Structure 1
């Protein structure tokens, strides 16, 4: 983001049910929220954003205007469900009418008065993070999980698997399988660890030999923009560079995220062999390659 935008929300809103929204809708909603002054008592008449701000999320859409309009229409027509307690649920609207300033390429969107309780005059029970942390979170469950972790004050805590599925909004029948759920959780946490300002480790806790709960450990830190790592910039940095493995020369070919790990593919022309190295995150991979790159003499 050109300008540092910060998202501030009450924790109740973060933990609401966003089932009717897709990842693009949530990102545009959070962009709007980042425009709000959380210490104010009233919303502005409109909040403004541009196509370029939306492009920062890397949606890879050719017709970005149509994409934004579709998302804003969705935001104006759905409700988010907030649980006040076990007995009461509240359905709240999100945005009002949408105005597009063609000349300046600006979208003007009013936030619903229903959101005042969750976005204004905030003094307690809230979560704050830089909008840039959402750029590389490509799936809704990753955003939901990231916001949930940010809203928790503890460094170590335990969540039941059923509650975690609800938090991540994993409602498909396929996630009744522990294998599928565990795989999705690992992939989501790898992405969060790689691209955001928190680092998460977890372990499964078993009760009567059944996996029931998950214990999380969270480290929190600020991202240095100069060290912000992505798959793309590591490929650019190391592609076609050489490393030595067991005294054989290999060339770096590709990097990808797979099943909760960073996979580095290397090729030996002499051996006609492709090998793969596995890392926990991009930082580990970058650190390894920094040390092992072999100059051609």
Structure 2
């Protein structure tokens, strides 16, 4: 049994990591990275083995930027997903895949959480004598982007050299986004520029970018690294955060984020930004309608699906149209959970069955309603090989004729 140590969450603690670990390939969310770095900041230079670290839930959630009363269910979901994440590290001719954590326990009566690193990480976090990078935890806990944290570590390694150059593909790989933002312009605007702004304003280093081209295409990125005076960076960061908070507090976006927290959702700026084109008032309206529902496994995915499939207009919606859109969104959410391709007949049968159970419809009502929304449902699900019957009335009439024919056949027996 590894020794247990109750620790305080302290932003002034130092994170010390092997350079090889910093340059390993992995993709973690911003909260997941902060959990790892918070644990790493509690390792002492004299430690020869990992301990089981016990952290107070309240302090831990404050450090991670989770607002409101600490929720065990929210943290449990985060740590459960983190335990399933692995990083890849190359040793000679081996590529090794390793989990970050080996153990997590929630002590609900004590308001604490126990966490333990995977033993494989020992040579990369313990008794480091050379080829390591060290920095204060406060430099990363203030960052809101996972890319900014990774870029900070990669540049902090080269702070004394004052520059570092990456092949564009290598940088994408290190950030875990090989296939995301394939166009360089997008990559620059979504990853590099936001990270530059955050590092320049909130950490002890800043950087400028130089693009190195091969013909017309950017093939390499050169970072010019500068050290920042701690006080200057802190004051600028504080001013910016207060200014942003002032703007944010009076916006509809803030209301969406606030309502999300009440629903137990940690909505990132990226998610909210993707909803803006549908109208934030519509987002608020939709969130208000589903906030008490317990049957939605993935509320963020559900909201996104409803927004994509609902036609928003300035005039007041017909209640029947609104019901159709609600049903459509429910079915899209249900079928989207499957990763296997589905045939049109399977979707049809299952959808009618779901309408009967979930909306208490009779069989003929469910069939009629399905025919009305079938074309749009198949379109959203990407089903192309099906026959569209334009009129639900025609389909009903056809069904009635078949039923009457069957009755006649039974009478003639």
Instruction: Specify the alignment match of 1:119 in structure 2.
Output: 125
Deviations 1:62-121 (CA, angstroms, capped at 9, x unpaired): 554222222222233332111224x32111222223222334322111222111011111
CA distance in 1, matches of 2:68, 2:25: 27
Instruction: Specify the alignment match of 1:92 in structure 2.
Output: 98
Q: Which has the higher helix share?
A: 2
Q: Which moved more, 1:109-118 or 1:153-162?
A: 153-162
- Any stretches of 5+ residues in structure 2 without a counterpart? 1-8, 252-268, 270-413
Equivalent of residue 56 in structure 1, options 57, 63, 66: 63
Deviation of 1:226 (Å):
6.0
Deviation of 1:48 (Å):
2.1
Instruction: Specify the alignment match of 2:237 in structure 1.
Output: 229
Q: Which has the higher strand share?
A: 1
Deviation of 1:211 (Å):
1.6
- Pair 1:148-2:154 in alignment: yes
Is the partner of 1:128 in helix, strand or coil?
strand
CA distance in 1, matches of 2:26, 2:79: 15
Instruction: Specify the alignment match of 1:14 in structure 2.
Output: 22
Instruction: Specify the alignment match of 2:139 in structure 1.
Output: 133
Is the partner of 1:98 in helix, strand or coil?
strand
Is the partner of 1:143 in helix, strand or coil?
helix
TM-score by length of 2: 0.52
RMSD of aligned residue pairs (Cα, Å): 2.7
Is the partner of 1:37 in helix, strand or coil?
coil
Instruction: Specify the alignment match of 2:110 in structure 1.
Output: 104
Q: Which moved more, 1:72-81 or 1:113-122?
A: 72-81
Deviations 1:165-187 (CA, angstroms, capped at 9, x unpaired): 112222334x2111101212112
CA distance in 2, matches of 1:81, 1:210: 29
Distance 1:57 1:170, change over 3 A: same
CA distance in 2, matches of 1:228, 1:4: 19
Instruction: Specify the alignment match of 1:171 in structure 2.
Output: 178
Contact 1:10 1:126 in 2 (8 A): yes
Considering Cα pairs closer than 8 Å and 6+ residues apart, tell me whether 1 or 2 has the greater RCO: 1
TM-score by length of 1: 0.71
- Pair 1:162-2:144 in alignment: no
Deviation of 1:215 (Å):
1.7
Deviations 1:11-42 (CA, angstroms, capped at 9, x unpaired): 111111222x3221111111111111144221
Deviation of 1:223 (Å):
1.9
Residue correspondences, number: 237
Contact 2:11 2:137 in 1 (8 A): no
Instruction: Specify the alignment match of 1:186 in structure 2.
Output: 193
CA distance in 1, matches of 2:12, 2:124: 21
Is the partner of 1:75 in helix, strand or coil?
helix
- Which of these two proteins has the greater Rg computed from alpha carbons? 2
Equivalent of residue 87 in structure 2, options 80, 86, 97: 80
Instruction: Specify the alignment match of 1:35 in structure 2.
Output: 42
Distance 1:53 1:93, change over 3 A: same
Deviation of 1:127 (Å):
0.9
CA distance in 1, matches of 2:112, 2:213: 52
Contact 1:200 1:218 in 2 (8 A): yes
CA distance in 2, matches of 1:41, 1:139: 32
Equivalent of residue 4 in structure 1, options 4, 12, 22: 12
Contact 1:141 1:169 in 2 (8 A): no
- Pair 1:218-2:225 in alignment: yes
Distance 1:158 1:131, change over 3 A: same
Contact 1:10 1:125 in 2 (8 A): yes
Contact 2:82 2:101 in 1 (8 A): yes
Is the partner of 1:82 in helix, strand or coil?
strand
Contact 1:28 1:54 in 2 (8 A): no
Deviation of 1:125 (Å):
0.7
Contact 2:50 2:122 in 1 (8 A): yes
Distance 1:236 1:191, change over 3 A: closer
Contact 1:47 1:111 in 2 (8 A): no
